[in-house]
Amino acid sequence: MDTLNVMIHAPTPEALHRAQANTRNLLKLEPDANIELVVNGPAAAVAVGIVDAEILGRLVLCQNSLDKQNLTAQDGARVVPAAVQHLARQQQQGWGYIRA
């Protein structure tokens, strides 16, 4: 099968909790999958505390959401100007989308 490219989107703390479980479950079945865990909104405040390397290396944080809540991304997390732009542009490139 083709390699999977999929974004898992989490805008709320509950969704972020589910998204981390989703990511781990998917990696067990598809270890080569390219997974991005894209976080914006209220979930950003929880996401900046993530230290687990399996998740952290796949984390994509929204600069708008960080700014609005006076948050700073941790080392190792990727930051994009706006999650919504990233989610839309990546879909245009063929990435899948799941809202946790």
The binding site for a second copy (CB under 8 A) comprises 1-2, 4, 6, 8-9, 11-12, 14, 18, 21-23, 25-26, 28-30, 33, 40-41, 64, 81-85, 87-89, 91-92, 96-100
> HEC string of 60-80?
EEEHHHHHHCCCCCCCCCEEE
Residue closer to a second copy, measured from CB, 54 or 85? 85
DSSP reduced 3-state for 86? helix
Q: Tell the smallest beta-carbon distance from residue 60 to a second copy (Å).
A: 14
Minimal distance, residue 72 CB to a second copy, in Å? 19
In terms of CB distance, is 34 or 52 closer to a second copy? Answer: 34
DSSP category for residue 70: T
Residue type, 29: L
The distance of closest approach from Cβ of residue 79 to a second copy in the complex, given in angstroms and rounded to an integer, is 14
Cα first-last separation, the chain: 24
Q: What is the DSSP letter of 95?
A: -
